[in-house]
Amino acid sequence: MLSLEELRRAVALLETRLRGHRVQAIAQPDATSIVFTTYGGRSAKHRLRLSCRPGCARVGL
């Protein structure tokens, strides 16, 4: 499990990478994951994956 400080660092990183982006698409590849495709900002496109799988929850960019 992540500590509050680790979560804050993850949020800060995501905020700097995704600032100014808009959500282009949302997909659910499996029962425990959601993928947001964003565009804009300094780079063309990012995919943000949120997973709530028991014992292996994560956020990936």
Higher pLDDT, 43 or 21: 21
pLDDT of amino acid 56: 84
- 35-56: per-residue pLDDT in tens? 999 998 676 799 999 998 888 8
Strand spans (E) along the chain: 21-30, 33-40, 45-51, 58-60
Q: Which element (helix H / strand E) includes 45?
A: strand 45-51
pLDDT of amino acid 32: 94
pLDDT at 2 over 90: no
- Tokens matching residue 54: 């028991």
Residue 9 to residue 6: CA distance in whole angstroms: 5
Q: What is the mean pLDDT of residues 19-35?
A: 95
